[in-house]
Amino acid sequence: MKQLTRKFAALAFGLAIGLAASANDPFQGTIKFTKTIGPVTANYIYYVKGDKIRVEELGENGEIQGIMIIDTKANTVKALSPERKMFIDVPNKRPPRDTEVYVQKTGKTEVINGYKCTEVKVTGKDDGREVTYWVADDDFDFMVPMLETLNRKDKLAVYFMNVPDIHGMFPMVGVERKTDGVELTKLLVNEVEKTDLANDLFTIPSNYSKFERE
Which of the pair, 18 or 75, is modelled with greater confidence? 75
Please state, in angstroms and rounded to a whole number, the distance separating the CA atoms of residues 121 and 108. Answer: 11
Say what the pLDDT of residue 126 is.
85
Q: What is the pLDDT of residues 162-193, one digit of tens each?
A: 999 999 999 999 999 998 899 999 999 999 99
What is the phi-psi region of residue 100: left when phi exceeds 0, alpha when psi lies from -120 to 50, beta otherwise? beta
3-state secondary structure of 171: strand
AA letter at 151: N
Q: Where are the domains of the chain?
A: 29-92, 101-194
76-81: strand order across its sheet: 101-112, 115-124, 129-140, 168-178, 183-194, 29-37, 40-49, 52-58, 64-71, 76-81, 86-89, 209-210
Looking at residue 15, its pLDDT comes to: 41
pTM (predicted TM-score): 0.85
- For 94-108, 132-146, 172-186, 187-201, which range has the lowest pLDDT when averaged over its residues? 94-108
pLDDT value for 203: 96
